[in-house]
Structure 1
């Protein structure tokens, strides 16, 4: 795959890896940690700009009772010690405590993983993901594209408050 990517990049294609992961993996702490590890592995192997996506976000309402934390906890992936505490409640996972701590520490220390939510039935969700992918691969900054200073700044800065991000990204998927 690396040679294929190198060839495409020589041909001046801008590539980005999009890693789709089912959102139901958030319902169990052990599965979510495995998801984090898989995302890190994919990021290292592909050596390309990377976007992790929790797909089927519309089904989060169905699994909301199983979620130990709010949806933004799983998308931002900031403080995993709370997830480790939930793993300690499971007797079968106690023997992997140090391994889980090491994985979570690596993810937290380097802030390498975060997720975007995707509802394939929502045009807004698809467009927000497309914009995020375009930003990741630098498409919005390419010469020769019609651009305005405002559109470049909006893409570069993110141009939305945390309240707007919550309203658009998280609120549609929880009750």
Structure 2
């Protein structure tokens, strides 16, 4: 009995020390991780709309687009500026893929030209659905040269966009997100 109690106390002390060490390490690394994530997101915004040198959040527009079925997957909107003049927008869109939500940033300039679509987060099938993040899919001419008013669709759906082989649902999710950006653009420029 006495040996069992001693063993329990030793294990408890070891566990407490290990837990304290983990908490201490976490307290040092958490701010570093947050800073890295903020820098990565800032770089992604810059990649989505390269001509902009600064971005400003537009929360009032987010509330507005959430009530419109054509733009309801838009989670965040930032106006992009160059030398204080607005040059376009970057929209964070979250659409449902095959096995996860696909979160992406899509830039569009004031003339309706798409910037870049940057996939921020996805947990699609490795080797299939994850190919939506590759340049071969995201930068194909049917996407890069698309214009507002055009209904982007996959080849399988009588459109021009070549889906990733074996990842039709994931490909459709990306196309749906870009179409929502086009709907946002049309709403902004028609007012």
Tell me, yes or no, whether TM beats 0.5: no
Q: What is the TM-score normalised by the length of structure 2?
A: 0.28
Higher RCO by CA contacts (8 Å cutoff, separation 6 or greater): 1
Q: What is the TM-score normalised by the length of structure 1?
A: 0.29
The higher radius of gyration belongs to 2
Higher helix share: 1
Higher strand share: 2
